[in-house]
Amino acid sequence: MPNTTETIGPLRLQRKLGVGKLSEVWTANDTSAEAADRKKLWAVKFLVADAAGDRDQRKLLEHELRVSKSLAHPGIVRIDRFEVIDGIPLLVMELFDHPNLKTQLAETPEPLMARLPRILTEAALALAHMHARGWIHRDIKPDNLLASPEGQVKLIDMALAVKKPGVLGRLLGGASPRGRGLVQGTPSYMSPEQIRGQVVDARADIYSFGCTAFELLAGRPPFQSRTQTELLQMQLTSQPPSVESYNRSVPKGVVRLIRKMLSKNAASRPASMDEVVEQLRSFRKLERASQA
């Protein structure tokens, strides 16, 4: 795979931003004759060698592009194009050169706390836009939210997004963006109905957003376990602890909102992300929680 001295066609790689099992993300210049600005940096997500020939993984990248093209929000990273260059499938994306919230929580928690009121509100607004356009993200978590030092947020990774509610399968895994016969997501943030393979709607994302908000305020997800099986069972049946037990500065209203978002019954959660946004905006005392 490419390193800092190599290129993918006209894309000159500069710096690695992230790495996963099947893909890597780098900053890069587009040196092609068609490039409007060859000095401009992009984020390039490409499949690693073992996955480059995987048709399902290529379809996921193409799916991400389709989702991105249907969205227009400052809180969602824009994808410019999908290409296959020298046999490597890749996405060329807007560069938002800031770490994700999972990394910031682990490395610089105190500065992050000071920005949480804006971060949570902006993340909720981005997700509300997705829902308004008919998409369910299905993988909301701190890892998929980038944040600047000022608190500006960008939602990323639309690979699992679905256009309409559908019946999911029984087990984790698989690559189909439609989730045919498969349950997809991240166990620490998955809603009970997503795990059970029931029909999911925007309220599944609300549950995941509740898990994310809990972790950002408490420093840990609501449920933790050594095994995936036990973790999924906890998501299904265990009542989450109160975020207040980990951060006593969280306002009562925020504690209630998170508890509501983490309801096992989807009908008991906020009806929409618009409702979550309005409640977050009304909690001026959230500023106090950010100083804990």
Each residue of 107-151: pLDDT tens digit?
A: 988 889 889 999 999 999 999 999 999 999 999 999 999 999 999
Q: Do residue 112 and residue 89 come from a single domain?
A: no
Residue 2 is assigned to a structural domain of this protein:
no
Which helix (H) or strand (E) segment holds residue 147: the answer is strand 145-147
In this structure, are residues 194 and 183 in contact, taking their beta carbons and an 8 Å threshold?
yes
**3 state SS of 279:** helix
Q: Domain containing 88 — which CATH number?
A: 3.30.200.20
Report, as residue numbers or ranges, the catalytic residues: 139
Q: Do residue 11 and residue 115 come from a single domain?
A: no
Residue 1 is assigned to a structural domain of this protein:
no
Q: Name the residue range of residue 192's domain.
A: 101-289
Residue 52 is assigned to a structural domain of this protein:
yes
- Residue 175 CB partners (closer than 8 Å, separation 6+): 54, 56, 57, 59, 60
Structure tokens at 258: 């998170």
Can you give the pLDDT at residue 1? 53
Phi, psi of 15 (to 5 degrees): -150, 135
Residue 137 is assigned to a structural domain of this protein:
yes
Residue 256 is assigned to a structural domain of this protein:
yes
Averaged pLDDT score across all residues of the chain: 89
Query: What is the model's pTM?
Result: 0.89
Residues of the chain with pLDDT under 50: 4, 166-181, 285, 288-289, 292
Can you give the pLDDT at residue 33? 80
Q: Do residue 224 and residue 116 come from a single domain?
A: yes
**3 state SS of 66:** helix
Q: Do residue 65 and residue 153 come from a single domain?
A: no
Q: Domain containing 125 — which CATH number?
A: 1.10.510.10
Which of 38, 67, 93 is the last residue before a domain boundary?
A: 93
Buried b (16+ CB within 10 A) or exposed e, 97-119: ebbbbbbbbeeeeeebbebbbbb
Q: Do residue 79 and residue 184 come from a single domain?
A: no
Which of 93, 127, 150 is the last residue before a domain boundary?
A: 93
> What single-letter amino acid sits at 132?
A
What is the signed CA dihedral for 62, 66, 71, 73, rounded to 10 degrees?
Answer: 20
Can you give the pLDDT at residue 287? 55
Q: How many CB atoms lie within 10 A of CB 14?
A: 14
Which of 40, 72, 93 is the last residue before a domain boundary?
A: 93
Can you give the pLDDT at residue 195? 94
Q: Do residue 122 and residue 252 come from a single domain?
A: yes
Q: Do residue 217 and residue 264 come from a single domain?
A: yes
Instruction: Count the domains in the chain.
Output: 2
Q: Do residue 148 and residue 226 come from a single domain?
A: yes
Can you give the pLDDT at residue 6? 86
CA–CA gap between residue 64 and residue 79 (Å, rounded): 8
Q: Do residue 130 and residue 255 come from a single domain?
A: yes
